[in-house]
């Protein structure tokens, strides 16, 4: 059973990824759409809580860094 911190990160980063993907698809910003998909998918493959937050924050930073 995952910890509450793990479930919180899964929900927050997946919802953020879904919102980014929908926005990027409408704007035809394919780099941002790829980051959105990565945000939605990666929590299902990462078990460690600190790694889950580190990857999620890095992808959010990449979204900010590679904005169009």
**What's the per-residue H, E or C state across the chain?**
CCCHHHHHHHHHHHHHHHHHHHHHHHHCCHHHHHHHHHHHHHHHCCCCHHHHHHHHHHHHHHHHHCCC
Rg of the chain in Å (alpha carbons): 12
In this prediction, residue 53 has a pLDDT band, given cuts at 50, 70 and 90, of: very high
Q: Give the number of domains in the chain.
A: 1
Q: What is the pLDDT of residue 68?
A: 61
Domain of 56, in residue numbers: 4-65
How is residue 57 written in tokens? 């924050």
The pTM of the full predicted model, rounded to 2 decimals, is 0.87
pLDDT above 80 (res 62): yes
Sign of CA dihedral 7, 2, 46, 25: negative
Interval 27-45 mean pLDDT: 93
């Amino acid at each position: 059973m995952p910890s509450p911190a793990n479930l919180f990160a899964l929900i927050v980063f997946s919802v953020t990824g879904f919102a980014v993907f929908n926005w990027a698809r409408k704007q035809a910003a394919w780099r941002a759409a790829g980051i959105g998909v990565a945000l939605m998918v990666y929590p299902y493959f990462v078990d460690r809580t600190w790694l889950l937050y580190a990857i999620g924050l890095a992808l959010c930073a990449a979204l900010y860094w590679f904005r169009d």
